[in-house]
Structure 1
Amino acid sequence: MTMPYVGALFGTIAGVMAIMLHSSIHKIEEGHLAVYYRGGALLTTPNGPGYHIMLPFITTYRAVQTTLQTDEIKNVPLLGISVTVVFALLYAVVDIVRNYTADYDKTLIFNKIHHELNQFCSVHTLQEVYIELFDIIDENLKTALQKDLNVMAPGLTIQAVRVTKPKIPEAIRRNFELMEAEKTRLLITAQTQKVVEKEAETERKKAIIEAQKVAQVAEIQFQQKVMEKETEKRISEIEDAAFLAREKAKADAEYYTAAKFAEANRLKLTPEYLELMKYQAIAANSKIYFGQDIPNMFVEGSNSPLKPNFNFIKRPLSDDTVPKILQLYEVRGLPSCADS
């Protein structure tokens, strides 16, 4: 072989190897997962972010995004609605790609949105779609999509759905806007009425609270007065009990004294003591008239005569009585009839 021929051969081989190396090395971005096809068959082993090598011309790959991604469906037929869907493929990537290809979102999301919107609009009027039920369309659409995905593609999650207003003729749109403005005005009026009612309710509750406060204060004051009266009553009962005890003790003492005095007097009722008292009573008179045949005696007062004390002496004086009476008069220093 000549040198030019050898050089051309080496150049060709180097070029082919460079092309094969370039075709075999590929880069996967962060947030993506590489799935491989070999001879049209999907391989079961994906690769994550970074540089990887595959068999050139035999193996191909597709990068599938696994982070949040946003797809927009514009101008849904017959409605003119645009839908924005935020979704994420979290797991089971190979299974979803095997069942629905790498463009799974067209099958599982786009086509499903068309179907759900057409079904929703078929059972509702334009006013309901445009005004009355428009605020629940996106939530209902999200719920319907996720319900089917939980069965068909468990690793695919719908994060949010946003629906734009349907495109309608200008005249109808103006009428709807006027209706919306009137509805807004009515809502404002209703809210104002609710505010007024709430303020009135607040004032009523405030008045009730104030009345309850006054009633509670009055109740506390009443209880305080009742306690004061009960305290005074208990003090009075204690004082009355003490006074009653003192009076009872005093009465018991007087009764005891009287009983003892009566007992003493009863003990004094002897013939000798009665005889002594008789002589003392006779001696207490200023003058006494007596003699052998006088059956009784009487006493003269200083100014007015006194009735004879017939209850005291009702029998004649004995012989030994006269000397005793004279002896008492001598002791008292009183004059007697014997001296006159």
Structure 2
Amino acid sequence: MTTIPFLNQHSSQPNSNGPFAHGTSKINGPSSLELGGAEDHNSKPGGYSITCILFTGLIAVIAVFVLIACLVNSVHRVNEGNVGVYFRSGALLDSLAGPGLHTALPFITTMMEVVVRPETTYLDPLTCTTSDGVTNIFRNVQVICSVDQSKLRYLITNYGNDMKKVLVYDRVAEAVQAFCANSSIDEVYNSKFLEIEGFVKEMVTEKIKVLADEAITVLNLFIPKPDIPPMIAQNYREVKIEWTKKLVAEEKKKIEKIKKETEIQTALLEAEKAKQVSEILTMQEIKRAEGLDKIADIDNERRRKIGQTDSDISTFTALSDAAVNKELLTDQFIKLQLTKALMNNTKMYFSGQDSAVGGLINTVLGGVFSGN
């Protein structure tokens, strides 16, 4: 506020060298000296003129806007996975900023974010020509790569802000063209298609190693099948249809062969099963016969033992009877039994004493009667 009286003091003098005398006289009309007594009406009680107050307010507004612009320009944010790189008057600075809020000198320092984490990029269509002169177009080629943060300044210094394009994307296009130039359309589209990714990745990695000391790492590469001329594509479709028919015929043959082999295997299994069943039944019959034989042997043995026992009993009885009969077999017992037998006969015929019967009777009875 000390400058205001100074400005006011100079503005009241008619000297053209004053800071506001010449300008205010033309813009705001006559000076305070020309107005004479009007100075009291255009001034505030403190002695400050309206011109000074307006000019001071304008300066303050401009200062506020400048301050806001400086703050807006100096404060910036770095997202996660990125690194902030600073340029001052176009020159690359050594300092790098990680994720978060940061400040820099306004208007003379600019910040650029560089993605250092793995990033997927879809390349523009790649056109290449095979060794037999057929043009192919590879679309939607995908590259996943990451940047070594410690070598970021080296990359920007040597290859600029588009270092990925220079070191990776352009080298992928170069490697695809190299593969196509050394291969036929059939190899590119069919027989060697699966080798393209490995070839391109190996070549790009080697180029990065030579050019940038492995500052960028290619993590993955995806190359879809190329677009080929319609006539060649139609021929491939027809070949594929015939190849499919051939596969179907071969599969049918394999299926028929498998069916026949299955039937043979089934018949063999059934025969083996019948054989095993027959063997089992035969073994069962043998076991049953052996069981019956054992039962018969046991029964015969039992019968033999019973017969032997009966025979022993009969023998013992006979021997016992014989011993008893031997004791009973005396002349008197015999004569008594004979007499009993003769007494049961009502008639007896014999021819005298000289006959066999008569002699026997005479002998037996004679002895009996003579005994009496």
Which TM class, normalised by the smaller chain length? 0.5 to 0.7
Residue 133 of structure 1: which of 186, 192, 195 is its match?
A: 192
Residue 95 of structure 1: which of 150, 153, 157 is its match?
A: 150
Please report how far the alpha carbon of residue 33 of structure 1 lies from its aligned counterpart in structure 2 after TM superposition.
1.9
Q: 1:280 to 1:142 in 2, by over 3 A?
A: farther
1:211 paired with 2:304, answer: no
Residue 306 of structure 2: which of 241, 250, 254 is its match?
A: 250
> Would you say the 8 A contact 2:175–2:200 is kept in 1?
yes
> Would you say the 8 A contact 1:282–1:325 is kept in 2?
no
Using the size of structure 1 for normalisation, the TM-score is 0.66
Please report how far the alpha carbon of residue 200 of structure 1 lies from its aligned counterpart in structure 2 after TM superposition.
0.4
Match of 1:116 in 2: 175
String of CA shifts for 1:95-140, please: whole Å, max 9, x gaps: 3533433534224422331342244234423432244323543465
Partners of 1:62 and 1:276 lie apart in 2 by: 164
Residue 190 of structure 1: which of 246, 250, 256 is its match?
A: 246
Q: 1:216 to 1:276 in 2, by over 3 A?
A: farther
1:16 paired with 2:78, answer: no
> Would you say the 8 A contact 2:126–2:173 is kept in 1?
no
Partners of 2:292 and 2:371 lie apart in 1 by: 65
Match of 1:323 in 2: 368
Structure 1: stretches of 5+ with no match in the other structure: 301-307, 310-315, 328-340
CA RMSD in angstroms, aligned pairs only? 4.5
Letter matched to residue 240 of structure 2: T
Match of 1:199 in 2: 255
Aligned pair count reads 300
Structure 2: stretches of 5+ with no match in the other structure: 1-5, 8-51, 130-134, 343-347
Partners of 2:309 and 2:110 lie apart in 1 by: 132
| Greater fraction of residues in helix | 2
Match of 1:333 in 2: none
Aligned-partner SS, 1:158: strand
Q: 1:158 to 1:281 in 2, by over 3 A?
A: same
Using the size of structure 2 for normalisation, the TM-score is 0.61
Q: 1:84 to 1:142 in 2, by over 3 A?
A: farther
> Would you say the 8 A contact 2:137–2:226 is kept in 1?
yes
Match of 2:356 in 1: 298
> Would you say the 8 A contact 2:77–2:99 is kept in 1?
no
Aligned-partner SS, 1:84: coil
String of CA shifts for 1:59-104, please: whole Å, max 9, x gaps: 43222344643231434465554353434456x6523533433534
Residue 93 of structure 2: which of 41, 60, 63 is its match?
A: 41
Q: 1:289 to 1:177 in 2, by over 3 A?
A: same
1:70 paired with 2:121, answer: yes
Letter matched to residue 64 of structure 1: V
> Would you say the 8 A contact 1:37–1:61 is kept in 2?
yes
Q: 1:258 to 1:163 in 2, by over 3 A?
A: closer
Match of 2:227 in 1: 165
Please report how far the alpha carbon of residue 256 of structure 1 lies from its aligned counterpart in structure 2 after TM superposition.
0.9
Letter matched to residue 367 of structure 2: V
Aligned-partner SS, 1:201: helix
Partners of 1:249 and 1:148 lie apart in 2 by: 111
